[in-house]
Structure 1
Amino acid sequence: MYLDNPEEGERYCGAPTATACSDSFALASLLLEPGHPMTIRCAGSERAERARVLGLKRGEFIVVRPPASSQTIRAARPGAGVDVLLEKEGTVYAFHSEVLSALTHPIPVLFVGYPQDVRSRALRRHVRHKCLLPATAVGAGFTCEGHLSDFSVGGCRIVTSNLPRNGGAALHHGDPLEVRLPVSGLRMETFTGELRSVQQDGDTVALCMSFHEGRSSDLAERFVCELIMVENLRREDSLEAAKNAPPPSSRAHAPLESEALRDATAHVSDGAVVSLTVAQPLELQFTGNHLYDASSVVAVDGAECIIAEMPLTAMGCCPKPGMGLRGRFEKQGSYYGFRTCVLKFVTKPRPLVFFACPKKIEVLKRRLHPRVHCMMPAALEGDMMRVSGYVTDISMGGCRVLANLDGQEGIVNVMSGDTVHLTLPLDGLRVESLKARVKNFTLKENRVSLGLIFQAGKSQLPLLAAFMTRMEAAGV
């Protein structure tokens, strides 16, 4: 048991049903979300306290912000033990670590060693998996189109931006409900069950349902296995890209390529609107230095402070509080630039620079349409291949597809520039075949990841535009 407080640790992770697990994708992705609440207790403090995750450096430390009047921050000493408990999406995580460093300025913050072993316990019977794909809900006297926001072996949650069609009586707990959606290979399936709750926010209605035992639960179990496979492959690709990233370097301030920005639009936005995320690569330029140096975001504290890795190539500038700082980064096809000032520079647990969150940020928008992460079954057909897979992100201009996940197609013959037809659900139970060109692809163990550029016909453009409007709203 990691926490002796029966109201905290024992209730969650002290029971025999709790499971121990090593460092995994799940914990890393969980802690990458700044602001997530957690409970900590440091050796020497009288009781556990609520705190917030600010970020992490994978494999090294977790950045935690305790309350301003915290006993923990006063009791924390390098090497002191600390117990951590946090919960998200129905799973509780608990681990023991030690304090690496503690600061009170510019913000109270603890650097906690990255855990080697984590105990976890699912509070729900079935783990929920995030997804975003069109679906249709059918009940007594009504039908509505929407999208799934999460899915599990036991049930799902469907969100619709329009109220149920065909009228119908008020919805009640226990009412029969069906959800129809495309699964592997665009095969349409109907899951039957009962309504558990209805949540309405303006014109948005969320229907939570549980599946009936038998055929629906068996179908759900197979679908969940595919969702897990796709999510793991996507995370592996992200880690592989991070490992193969170029080493930190310095480069002079140069104009961006005019060809890539021919149709770009520029504007100045509120700095709070465009938020930096943990592990976001960025470039920093300190006053007096004409070079930009590669860095990455380690932690974000709302509108107060950002912590980034101190570029080793810029260590000679020895940043002091108040020193001017420029930053720039690329995110989802747009370029961002800002000015701010240094708040603090530390060398432990590693060289880090604290700087104020910018009040204004310059945005150079290169991509006309933002990408939306999703998990949408699709079929892909070309002159030399015919495979099924999943669209993992999509925009008005194109998408990324993971295909041939089970390796049933012996050889996937594809080349950049090939013309293919992508069939996917654009509106409830209706599917559409879109012409596309292969921009890039990678093959690994006979699985293929393709970047596609849409070449939709004039008659398909309004349908695609309406679909993306719904997806962008759902993604937010």
Structure 2
Amino acid sequence: MTQQDSGVEIPVGDVCQIQLYDEKMFSTFRGSKKPDYALIDVPTAGGKPAYISPNAVFLIRFLEKGSVYGFKTSVIKTYSKPSSVCVIEYPASIKTVNLRKSRRITTLLPATIETENGSFAGAFIDLSEGGGLFSTLAMEHEAIKTGAECFVSVTLPSGEKVEKLRSHLCSVKKREGKTLVGLCFDHNGESPSLTLQSYYDTCSTSLF
């Protein structure tokens, strides 16, 4: 369900979620020329670029300043060189999406994230329904890029382990000698996703 037009514009450089039929994938906004078109990376599925049929219709959602926005658009054209991008129609309106409010909970959960550049140990210092903030001393800012796929493993207070939850890197920043990585979880209904979702729901019920 959506509300009225938000007045928000496409945030170039930010990660977005793409829904094509029943499949949800991630991409990054790469440019825009309002009101004509916008550019996004070709969405990835299972670590590989997805096949995008001509005139495919995307439902796109993104997070901006704590709120979720969405729009529907059609693919104009897909290019593979010099980089793999989709040209999409610039939406006539971008709407605020009514989703169940996701509170952030403060945590200290030992975790590792595996990227194409290696595995990094650290801890989640907060969690929300769809992602979390990972803190590490082991990672150089330049070692990862936003939009990249990674796998998250977390040890819960009970000792139960969440292994290799597929995720995407949404933001990277330095603070007081640490690297803080914002992650979006791919809640796909598989065991790692369900375990972490159950932990979050339990904490939310207890705290709020």
Please give the TM-score of this superposition, normalised by the length of structure 1.
0.23
Q: Which has the larger radius of gyration?
A: 1
Higher RCO (CA 8 Å, separation ≥ 6 residues): 2
Please give the TM-score of this superposition, normalised by the length of structure 2.
0.48
